[in-house]
């Protein structure tokens, strides 16, 4: 079997690497990939928004299945292009991708289907700002409607700032046209969980829960990022909570999309806040999470490529997913300055030593310069390891992190701390 992965970040490295492990796979490709992906599978140059060129590439490579990593090509209709040419693809249609492409659409969908989510109101006229932003008290979440690469959500503590920020967004000064409509949302307090499922439009299978770390610095301080690290451990959710999420959120979401005539095919990521009142949807993504995919796929056993192929054919076989006992963790090493301005082209040392520590270093933002890896993005590497328990997985990951060096590198030193404290309280 031959598989093509679209994208070039840490999530795509994990997917390409994992697909290439399967016994049935004799060709694994990635477009455009990066320096680390090129060490594991064949990379092909290309632009991820050129949907016609991508489908021609899949035809040329004679792949049995294509899986789309990032949201932008899905929102641009890449899956529709593939489907129209009879090419099997894992990823939702443009219409179904609105669950991520428009926060206003997602909120309306959640409310229409009685799926638990924070109370909210849509704001599109600057004249309504003063009367609207305080409706749910403070802090408040202000969310740009459109795609904003992780920069579209502001949590604001008080009224004067909320009014100013909302005006700035509506005027297009924060995330451009993506902010011309905003969702003003009640702040929810609790623990965040990333809950992902794979669906073929009808059937679905549940992937193990993961937990991301969105803030830049230790102790959840600093600005939001794309994610500074994640782990995958059974302690994240009790089985009762998992059942509740499936019953109250996953099944009504998939059924709601079918009822609209836009069945959801692909990975549905439910970004949840587990509050005192139970799980609430903060956001949907229409693809796997990044960096959550790195610890997730590092832990997943079974025939992943076959699983993708079965979903792409509309004949999902959930028995192909098996979850290893050992928990996993991923620590993101970011460029100096990230998530604000950062430099690229900085040489990366110690990758071989890190691998010798037993970790898998997924590349997020790297390229080759004269045959050697250099930085090429804000999130540079996702250092991933497993262990007998979450503590051991984390110490294995951090040992490998300390073997790697590039100028300005920064990472959080408290990835998985919620998992560790859960463990400590269980043992107390």
Binding site for ligand GLY (CB under 6 A): 212, 226-227, 285, 289-290, 292
Structure tokens, 364: 């997020």
- Tell me which of ligand AMP, ligand GLY, none is bound by residue 192, counting a contact when its beta carbon lies within the kind-specific cut-off of 5 to 8 angstroms: ligand AMP
Q: How far is the CB of 399 from ligand GLY (least distance, A)?
A: 24
Q: Which of 36, 116, 271, 373 binds ligand AMP (CB under 6 A)?
A: 271
Contacts of 318 (CB under 8 A, 6+ apart): 203, 204, 205
User: Binding of ligand AMP at residue 303 (CB under 6 A)?
Assistant: no
The answer to whether 307 and 198 are in contact (CB under 8 A) is yes
Q: Which of 72, 142, 282, 404 binds ligand AMP (CB under 6 A)?
A: 282
Dihedral sign (CA 390, 222, 268, 90): negative
- Tell me which of ligand AMP, ligand GLY, none is bound by residue 285, counting a contact when its beta carbon lies within the kind-specific cut-off of 5 to 8 angstroms: ligand GLY
Surface-to-core class of residue 422, CB atoms within 10 Å of its CB (0-12 exposed, 13-18 middle, 19+ buried)? middle
Closest to ligand AMP by CB, 4 vs 270, is: 270
Q: How far is the CB of 342 from ligand GLY (least distance, A)?
A: 18
Q: CA-CA distance, 159 to 264, in Å (whole number)? A: 38
b/e for 229-263, b at 16 or more Cβ within 10 A?
Answer: bbbbbebbbeeebbebbeebbbebbbebbeeeebb
- Tell me which of ligand GLY, ligand AMP, none is bound by residue 43, counting a contact when its beta carbon lies within the kind-specific cut-off of 5 to 8 angstroms: none
User: Binding of ligand AMP at residue 118 (CB under 6 A)?
Assistant: yes
- What is the total residue count of the chain? 428
Q: CA-CA distance, 375 to 381, in Å (whole number)? A: 9
User: Binding of ligand AMP at residue 153 (CB under 6 A)?
Assistant: yes
Closest to ligand AMP by CB, 76 vs 148, is: 148
Closest to ligand GLY by CB, 81 vs 212, is: 212
Surface-to-core class of residue 115, CB atoms within 10 Å of its CB (0-12 exposed, 13-18 middle, 19+ buried)? buried
Give the CA angle between residues 197, 203, 206 to the nearest 5°: 25
The answer to whether 181 and 134 are in contact (CB under 8 A) is no
121-150 positions binding ligand AMP, by CB under 6 A: 141, 143
| Binding footprint of ligand AMP, residue count (CB under 6 A) | 14
Q: CA-CA distance, 294 to 212, in Å (whole number)? A: 11
163-222 positions binding ligand AMP, by CB under 6 A: 185, 187-188, 192, 214
Q: How far is the CB of 275 from ligand AMP (least distance, A)?
A: 9
Q: How far is the CB of 215 from ligand GLY (least distance, A)?
A: 12
- Residues that bind ligand AMP in the complex, under the rule CB under 6 A: 118, 141, 143, 153, 155, 185, 187-188, 192, 214, 224, 271, 282-283
């Amino acid at each position: 079997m031959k598989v093509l992965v679209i994208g070039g970040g840490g999530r795509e490295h994990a997917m390409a690497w994992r697909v290439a492990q399967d016994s049935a796979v004799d060709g694994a490709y990635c477009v455009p990939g990066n320096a680390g992906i090129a060490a594991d599978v064949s990379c092909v140059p290309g632009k991820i928004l050129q949907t016609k060129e991508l489908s021609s590439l899949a035809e040329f490579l004679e792949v049995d299945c294509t899986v789309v990593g990032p949201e932008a090509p899905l929102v641009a209709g890449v899956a529709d292009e593939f489907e129209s040419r009879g090419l099997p693809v894992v990823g939702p249609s443009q219409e179904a991708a609105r669950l991520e492409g428009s926060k206003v659409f997602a909120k309306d969908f959640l409310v229409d289907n009685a799926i638990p989510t924070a109370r909210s109101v849509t704001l599109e006229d600057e004249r309504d700002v003063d009367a609207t932003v305080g409706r749910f008290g403070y802090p408040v979440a202000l969310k740009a409607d459109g795609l904003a690469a992780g920069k579209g959500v502001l949590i604001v503590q008080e009224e004067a700032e909320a009014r100013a920020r909302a005006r700035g967004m509506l005027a297009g000064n924060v995330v451009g046209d993506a902010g011309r409509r905003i969702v003003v949302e009640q702040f929810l307090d609790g623990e965040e969980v990333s809950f992902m499922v794979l669906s073929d439009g009808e059937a679905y299978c549940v992937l193990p829960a993961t937990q991301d770390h969105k803030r830049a610095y230790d102790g959840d301080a600093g600005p939001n990022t794309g994610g500074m690290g994640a782990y995958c451990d059974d302690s994240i959710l009790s089985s009762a909570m998992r059942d509740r999420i499936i019953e109250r959120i996953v099944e009504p979401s998939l059924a709601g999309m079918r009822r609209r005539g836009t069945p959801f095919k692909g990975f549905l990521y439910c970004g949840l806040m587990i509050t005192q009142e139970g799980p609430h949807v903060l956001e949907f993504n229409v693809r796997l999470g990044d960096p959550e995919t790195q610890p997730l796929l590092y832990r997943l056993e079974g025939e992943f490529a076959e699983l993708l192929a079965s979903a792409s054919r509309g004949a999902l076989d959930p028995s192909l997913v098996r979850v290893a006992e050992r928990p996993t963790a991923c620590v993101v090493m970011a460029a100096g300055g990230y998530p604000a301005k950062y430099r690229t082209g900085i040489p990366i040392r110690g990758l071989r030593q890190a691998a010798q520590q037993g970790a898998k270093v997924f590349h997020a933002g790297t390229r080759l310069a004269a045959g050697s890896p250099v930085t090429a993005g804000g999130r540079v590497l996702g250092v991933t390891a497993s262990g007998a328990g979450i503590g051991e997985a984390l110490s294995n990951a951090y040992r490998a992190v300390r073997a790697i060096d590039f100028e300005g590198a920064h990472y959080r030193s408290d990835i998985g701390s919620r998992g560790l404290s859960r463990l400590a309280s269980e043992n107390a």
